[in-house]
Amino acid sequence: MRLFHISDLHLGKKLYQYSLQEEQQDMLRQIVQYTAEMQPDAVLIAGDIYDRSMPSAEAQELFDAFLTDLSDLRPQPEILIIAGNHDSAVRLSYASGFLRRHHIVISALAPAAEDEKLTVITLQDAYGEVDFTMLPFIRPGMLRWLPDGEPADYHEAVKALLERQKPDPAKRNVILAHQFFKSGNADPELSDSETRWLSAGGLDVIGAELLDAYEYAALGHLHGPQSVGREGVRYSGSPYPYSLSEEHHRKGVVQIDLTEKGNEPAISVLPIEPLRKVRSIRGTLAELLEAAGDEVCGDYVGITLTDDELLRPADVLAGRYSHILEIRVDNKTSRGQIPADEKIGSEEDPAEAFAKFYEEMNASPMTDGERKIIEEIIREAQDL
């Protein structure tokens, strides 16, 4: 059985002030093309479909077109989707009954009572059945209904769910999960995209040993593609670099080939080429202008200037680099960012940033009234 594993699409995300709609459309096109060529039996999407729990109409249209393109392929793959921490479980579950009849299975909501369990989908090939356990993103507070009450941390929460629903050892087993798994003392590679969301006290950490019973664990949450403890426990990573810290990641689709029970899965990565690269460049103003060449460079760039003296370089650089994320200086007399009037590509406005923070902390978006209050506070602060 051949599987594709992707996660962390983050449709609708902006990179600083730049819309990534064109880049994400091309990213999804490459995934569909690989699916048509390699004909996987199932496509596993391990959470964070959208960048926000209230995605834009454009983001929803992108995902709708992506699912339509995958469903139109022949042979048609099964599409298994779980919710991530950025997704609204309720919104992602919309029309799930209808979609299931079209080989698209969405598991977005955690079990909410003793008689509810995780979704398990069974597929079959020449070697027998494969069970797919679907574990959407959960917080301990979602499981207050457990006999012992709310689990102490994320590890205990996931452990409690999986112990209630142990996989059949006679079958091959795959799990989809969107959590922060760690193997022993080995720290996974983190990017700027997720470090701010992981708790400083380590309460988010879940021991990867909980996944030992599964031939393959399709993980989402971390943007850097990597295995955790063993090759069969893997983060696919985001299919596009969403921060400068991801510039050296090898983005792609993870392909898994399962044979008979007892054999290790064969794992490979099909590379996704970004429409625009995300990269850091460093040098004097003259060096960077020369490096750009005669053509305007369209990559997303973070620039570090090393000149000892600078006179409003932003306008000059913008003539050669069309998508500047930030400009910093590193010379004898200055460490840090150049003055605000020289900075290009600042992040989204403060109200938008606070709305995202509020939504992450409370697992629900701000009301219109709350948003108006914050906008008024910000306006008053800016007038001081």
| DSSP codes, 315-342 | HHHHTTEEEEEEEEEESSS-EEEPPGGG
Do 262 and 131 have their domain in common?
A: yes
**Could you tell me the pLDDT band of residue 273, with boundaries at 50, 70 and 90?**
very high
Q: Which residue has the higher pLDDT, 302 or 332?
A: 302
Do 283 and 360 have their domain in common?
A: no
- Average pLDDT in the 329-354 region? 60
Do 307 and 167 have their domain in common?
A: no
Amino acid at the residue 15: L
Do 71 and 206 have their domain in common?
A: yes
Reported pTM? 0.84
Give the helix/strand (H/E) hosting 106. Answer: strand 104-107
Distances (CA, A) of 325 to 300, 334, 335, 342, 379: 6, 20, 18, 12, 25
Asked if the model's pLDDT at residue 333 lies above 80, the reply is no
Asked if the model's pLDDT at residue 343 lies above 50, the reply is no
Do 118 and 101 have their domain in common?
A: yes
- Average pLDDT in the 187-210 region? 76
Residue of 49, 56, 149 whose CA lies nearest to 99: 49
Q: What is the pLDDT of residues 48-76, one digit of tens each?
A: 999 999 999 999 999 999 999 999 999 99
Share of the chain above pLDDT 70, in %: 88
Residues whose CB is less than 8 angstroms from the CB of residue 286 and which lie 6 or more positions away in sequence, other chains included: none
- What range defines the domain where residue 376 resides? 350-383
Asked if the model's pLDDT at residue 40 lies above 90, the reply is yes
Supply the DSSP symbol for 141: G
Residue with tokens 């700027």: 192
Q: What is the pLDDT of residues 284-293, one digit of tens each?
A: 999 999 988 8
**Chain length of the chain:** 384
Q: Which residue has the higher pLDDT, 359 or 281?
A: 281
- Domain total in the chain: 3
Do 85 and 193 have their domain in common?
A: yes
Cα 106 to the center of its chain, rounded Å:
17
Give residue 315's pLDDT. Answer: 84
Which residue, 271, 296, 318, sits at the end of a domain? 271
Do 53 and 123 have their domain in common?
A: yes
Asked if the model's pLDDT at residue 312 lies above 80, the reply is no
Which residue, 212, 242, 271, sits at the end of a domain? 271
Give residue 340's pLDDT. Answer: 39
Residue 218: count other Cβ atoms within 10 Å of its Cβ. 31
Do 267 and 323 have their domain in common?
A: no
Do 31 and 119 have their domain in common?
A: yes
Q: What is the pLDDT of residues 152-161, one digit of tens each?
A: 999 999 999 9
Span of 179-183, 262-266, 324-328, 366-370 with lowest mean pLDDT: 366-370
Span of 40-44, 91-95, 138-142, 278-282 with lowest mean pLDDT: 91-95
**Could you tell me the pLDDT band of residue 214, with boundaries at 50, 70 and 90?**
very high
Give residue 348's pLDDT. Answer: 54
**Could you tell me the pLDDT band of residue 341, with boundaries at 50, 70 and 90?**
very low
Share of the chain above pLDDT 90, in %: 69
Give residue 200's pLDDT. Answer: 47
**Could you tell me the pLDDT band of residue 384, with boundaries at 50, 70 and 90?**
very low
Span of 67-71, 241-245, 295-299 with lowest mean pLDDT: 295-299
Q: Which residue has the higher pLDDT, 207 or 345?
A: 207
Which residue, 271, 289, 321, sits at the end of a domain? 271
Do 18 and 155 have their domain in common?
A: yes
Query: Dihedral sign, CA of 203, 204, 209, 210?
Result: positive
Give residue 380's pLDDT. Answer: 53
Give residue 105's pLDDT. Answer: 95
Do 193 and 87 have their domain in common?
A: yes
